[in-house]
Structure 1
Amino acid sequence: MEKLLSLVVPVYNEEECILEFISQVRTELVNSSVSYELVFADDGSNDNTVCLIRDEIENDSRIRLVELSYNHGKQAALTAAVTYAKGDYLLYMDPDLQDPPEEIARFISKIEEGYDLVFGVRESVEASFVASAFSKAFWFILDVFTGLKLPRPLAVMRIFNREFANRFLSYKESNRFIEGIFMHIGMRQATLKIKHRPRFAGVSKYNFARKLRLAKDAILDYSELPLKLATRVGIILVITSLLAVLTLTILRLFFIDFQLGWPSLICTLWFGFGINLLFLGVIGSYVGKIYSESKHRPLFSTQRLTNIKQS
């Protein structure tokens, strides 16, 4: 029985790339024996992305579109695309063409060796010095705090089978760090080295601030290290403060006659209050995540489905 390939593609303000992306995918798959569908999930674009995809659907029944009601974030958009995809294999891609469509055939061949998930790993990265530095800082933070052993340099492009997709959809948390979920699912995983190209057009939606937020979410979702560090620092501060009080008392009684003044007291209180607020903030972040999860809200809200039949 012929297998169906679903390309799941989250999009947000990609009018400059989307038509070229569709064209290149068609070129790669038109002469292959693979049946495929293109499932786009629009994350609240405010440009012509949706209109361009709808125009393509008029001429190609293999293209499908999920329109989210507002900007949920890339993680929710990917989840929406996976939810409505029908394929036996699902290939996750970005429309910016940094991960080239000509690698699709190699991904299919690799997963047919018996794997459940195949990560794309870039042979080299075409990026500016600043972008490269930001990326290295992002992955360093993740490595230190989460302990997730993600392949590097990780590409967006990856393929997984239907069983893996179903397990992915069983993860209902609203704070979704996709790579963390993929690693937590486990199963049979492999990597595939692929080419990397500069972005076809436009600018990346993932600037350093967004990457920092993603790193923070990943840390809160997959690590208790901040809480452990807060506890350890608290213990160290208590011990050092007691030693400081003991030292000052001994000096005052036996060695040096000096006046203990307000400045030292104020500085000590200031430092103590600052540490308390910092750790309350860490605890508050975890409590906020727990509160968010406890509401059990849907992972995404759809505004419109185009060329998709709901089962």
Structure 2
Amino acid sequence: MRKLLSLVVPVYYEQEVILQFLSETKTVLDQLDIDYEYVFVDDGSKDKTVEIISEQAKSNPKIKLVVFSYNHGKAAAVTAAIANAKGDYLLYMDPDLQDPPIEIPRFLEEIEKGYDLVWGIRSEKKDTFLNTLFSKIFWGSLNKFTGLDIPKGIAVMRIFNRSFADEFLKYNEANRFIEGIFINISKNWKTIEISQRERFAGKTKFNFRKKMQLAFDAIFDFSELPLKMAVRIGVVISILGFIALFVLLFLKFFIIDFESGWPSIIASIITGFGLQLFFLGIVSLYVGRIYKEVKRRPNYSIRNKININE
């Protein structure tokens, strides 16, 4: 019995690339000895993305589509795609064709060797200088502050088996950092180098602000480092404060008699108040995440499904 490969593809304002993505992937997949399906999840696009995929799905039952009620974020879209995929193997990729479909056979070859997960690693990032720099800052800060040890230069394109997908779906947290969850599930993974292309059309939606937001989310989700840093900084400031107080008293009683100045007092009060707000903000972020988790709300809401049998 031939195995089934599910392409899990989150989409968001991708009307310019969908047809080309379907064309290129079909050319590759039709040459392989494997059944396949597409599982698209639209994350609230307002262009013709849903219309184009829906039209293609009418004549091709391999094309499946989940339409969110509104934008929930890429992590939710990936989760919904995995939840609705039926494949023995699941290949996660973006439709922008930066990770070329011609690499699909290599991913299948490696996953069939018994790995749970195979990451794609970019041999060279085909992007602007600023986006490349932002990516390096993003992944560098991520590994440094979370200790997740995520492979450097990972691409979106990766493949994993059915048991890995089932384990992933057991992670029900509202704050979802996909790469962190993947690393937590299994250490039985491998990386392969792939040649990345220029984006086929359109502009990336994953800008510097979103990358840094994702980095902060990962740090707060997978590390207690901000809380530990707050404690350490508080201890250091307290020690410096006691030293400064001792020095001032020593100077006043043994060296020089001086008048205490209001500016120094006001500056100390403002600095102390600012630090308190900073540390309180860190704690509040953690409390907010806990509040979000305990409500146990669904990670996404679905407006429509096409070609998907429950």
Same fold? TM cut 0.5? yes
Q: Distance in 2 between matches of 1:142 and 1:169?
A: 23
Cα drift, residue 170 of structure 1: 0.3
Shift of 1:187: 4.2
Render the CA deviation track for 1:102-137: whole Å, top value 9, x for unaligned. Answer: 000100000001101000011111111111111111
Aligned to 2:111: 111
SS in 1 for 2:160: strand
1:99 aligns with 2:99: yes
Q: Where in structure 2 are the equivalents of 1:1-311 lying within 5 Å?
A: 1-310=1-310
Report the Cα distance in structure 1 between the residues aligned to 2:116 and 2:277, rounded to whole angstroms.
45
In structure 1, what is the Cα distance between the partners aligned to 2:236 and 2:185?
37
Q: TM-score, normalised by structure 1?
A: 0.99
Letter in 2 for 1:150: I
- Where 1:206 maps in the other structure, the secondary structure is coil
**In structure 1, how many angstroms separate the alpha carbons of the residues matched to 2:294 and 2:208?**
30
Q: What is the CA deviation profile of residues 269-307 of structure 1, one whole-angstrom value per residue up to 9, with x for unaligned ones?
A: 111011100010000000000000000011111100001
Partners of 1:116 and 1:254 lie apart in 2 by 71
How many residues align? The count is: 310
Q: Which letter does structure 1 place at the counterpart of 2:105?
A: A
Shift of 1:230: 0.2
For 2:204, the aligned partner's letter is S
Cα deviation for residue 140 of structure 1 reads: 1.8
2: CA distance, partners of 1:89 / 1:299: 23
Runs of 4+ more than 2 Å apart: none
Gaps of at least 5 residues in structure 1 are none
Residue identity in the other structure for 2:179: E
Name stretches of at least 5 consecutive residues in structure 2 with no aligned partner.
Answer: none
Q: Pairwise CA RMSD of aligned residues?
A: 0.7
Post-superposition CA distance 1:81-101 (Å, at most 9, x none): 000000000000000000000
Amino acid aligned to 2:127: A
